Amino acid sequence: MAIQRLQMRKAARGCVLAICACFGFAGAAGVAQGPALAMLDRLEPGLWEVTPHGAQSSAAQLCIDNGRKLIQIRHAREACRRFVVEDTAGAVVVQYTCPTGGYGHTKVRFENPRLVQVETQGIDNGLPFNFTAEARRTGSCGR
């Protein structure tokens, strides 16, 4: 009888620990599901000019409907899996992997709703890329 009670107590403790663990994971998941990348939502949609720092290359113009488009400048047309490394009011850092084998690591630093600094590096078409740029909203997108 004493052995059965001891076994039941151990089983009950195991159940209690499992329930606590589930609630702990559910709480952590709830925290992680907040407004991810909210800083990028503060950027104004429209025509943006991305000007690389230094003499790396010429400026490119992008029509963006939200700031998330700045994360994958080199893989813009691909549906890549993203992992948020940093998500603050002043900057976001995202790593992404694309089905074609490309990947990237991008930091977007907020200056104001019309100006951000972008640092990105990774692999595109089997070749490495690494550049820093200023992205500035220049107007509305032409239709």
Each residue of 26-49: pLDDT tens digit?
333 334 444 689 999 999 999 999
Could you give the angle at the alpha carbon of 131 between the alpha carbons of 39 and 115, nearest 5°?
A: 35
pLDDT of residue 142: 79
Q: Above 80 in pLDDT, residue 13? A: no
Asked if 142 contacts 130 with a C-beta cutoff of 8 angstroms, the reply is: no
Q: What's the pTM?
A: 0.72
Residues 6+ apart with CB under 8 A from 89: 38, 39, 110
**What is the chain's percent helix, strand, coil content, to nearest 5?**
25, 40, 30
- Name the more confident of 64 and 21: 64
Q: What CA–CA distance (Å, rounded) separates 112 from 90?
A: 9
Q: What is the mean pLDDT of residues 55-77?
A: 88
Q: How far is CA 58 from CA 78, 94, 106, in A?
A: 23, 24, 19
pLDDT-derived band of residue 58, with 50, 70 and 90 as boundaries?
A: confident
Per DSSP, helices labelled H in 1-143 are 2-32, 38-41
pLDDT of residue 21: 40
What is the tens place of the pLDDT at every residue in 85-136?
Answer: 999 999 999 999 999 889 999 999 999 999 999 999 999 999 999 999 999 9
Q: What CA–CA distance (Å, rounded) separates 73 from 22?
A: 39
pLDDT of residue 19: 39
